[in-house]
Amino acid sequence: MMKVWVVYPLRVAFASVPAALIVSALAITFLPPSVSFWVSGAVSAFSAFLFVAYAWGRHAGGLLVAPAIALLFCMNIFPLLWSFGLSFFHYRANRLAPPRFAGLHYYEKVLSDPVVWDRLQVTAKMVVLTVSLQMVIGFLLAMLFAKQFPLRRVLLILVLTPMMLSFVAVGAFFRYYYEPTFGLVSQAVRVFTGEPYVLLQSAAGATAGIVFADAWMWSPFVMLLVLAGLVSVPKYLYEAASIDRISHWRRFWSITFPYVRSLLMLALLFRTIEAFKLFDVVFLLTEGGPGTSTETIAVYVYRVSFQYFKTSESAALAYILLFTVIVLTNLYLYFANKRNRT
């Protein structure tokens, strides 16, 4: 910490406020507007700087993060708590009626609703399919990119691109990709069958389309994590193994894999949580159809809350999901840690 910040007391900073005001007033009175704008801006910035510098010198980190905390509270923490409160009241966001206390009514309703269980099953199916596809493809890509070959850097950037695209862009892209009349998939199938192919019209096709799009977007993420593990294996271990005449298969399982395992578990956790919330791609590609065959729980929550405006019910459902994810995550971490220790 630089000592220069603590050379002045706090009253200097406070004194700078009226000084800045006076200077600004004088500037506005006597100078043309285009000049006084910059003068008053500069003196107020300097005054603010004195406060920040003082806080910095006094290790008053709290003061410095206060704006961020305030923003976080307004935008995030408060709405979270508020919606939690609403889940215990009768309330619809499109009516003016004040909330009436409902107790656990909505929780009971959600948990006994067969539709919810159906949507959860759809979600589970999606999660299993997309996460396992991502893990396999991501792992294979990482194995590939752990080697050195020409154009590796360029290809790596290309492979990482989907992850950085916005969901809407990916959704729009795959919509065109699956489009029956001129989409690439349909045209490719037409070469063989002579008929346009509508992938998203069957439940299985729609599921496959969504899973493929999601895996396309997120396999690079798994690859990045696995690659980090692969490149962290010290080279001398492979050299020692080759002198010990160890087969490639055994080398992979006892040297490489242990370095990747914990990262693989982490990737699995991240991707499962994310896939559980699968919304964007589904909404953009199928909107849950055909029928409700691809309507994940996240899409269902959206419908309940913003199409049927059952605000309390959707809040209750959302909190049940949050609770489920937290419990599952902690169980997973508990078993993962236990396994690592032994």
Minimum Å gap between C-beta 179 and another protein is 49
Contacts of 269 (CB under 8 A, 6+ apart): 329, 332, 333, 336
Minimum Å gap between C-beta 242 and another protein is 5
Residue the block writes with tokens 């809350």: 305
Nearer CB in complex with another protein: 193/247: 247
Nearer CB in complex with another protein: 201/340: 340
Q: Pick the stretch among 195-203, 235-243, 295-303, 312-320 that binds another protein (CB under 8 A).
A: 235-243
Nearer CB in complex with another protein: 9/234: 234
Q: By CB under 8 A, what part of segment 14-73 binds another protein? A: none
Alpha carbons 130 and 105: distance in angstroms, whole number: 34
Contacts of 99 (CB under 8 A, 6+ apart): 86, 89, 90, 91, 312
* Number of other residues whose CB lies within 10 A of the CB of residue 9: 10
Nearer CB in complex with another protein: 203/255: 255
* Residues 249-258 as b or e (16 or more Cβ within 10 Å = b): eebeeebbee
Among 242, 324, 330, 337, binds another protein (CB under 8 A): 242
Would you count residue 243 as binding another protein (CB under 8 A)? yes
Nearer CB in complex with another protein: 197/238: 238
Binding mask of the shown chain, residues 244 to 263, with x at each position contacting another protein by CB under 8 A: xxxx--x---xx--xx----
Q: Helix count (H) and strand count (E) of the chain?
A: 16, 2
Q: Pick the stretch among 186-194, 233-241, 288-296, 323-331 that binds another protein (CB under 8 A).
A: 233-241
Apex CA 101: angle with CA 98 and CA 103, to 5°?
Answer: 150
Contacts of 234 (CB under 8 A, 6+ apart): none
Nearer CB in complex with another protein: 216/259: 259
Q: Pick the stretch among 124-132, 153-161, 232-240, 301-309 that binds another protein (CB under 8 A).
A: 232-240
Contact call for residues 257 and 264 (beta carbons, < 8 A): no
Contact positions vs another protein (CB under 8 A):
234, 236-237, 239-247, 250, 254-255, 258-259
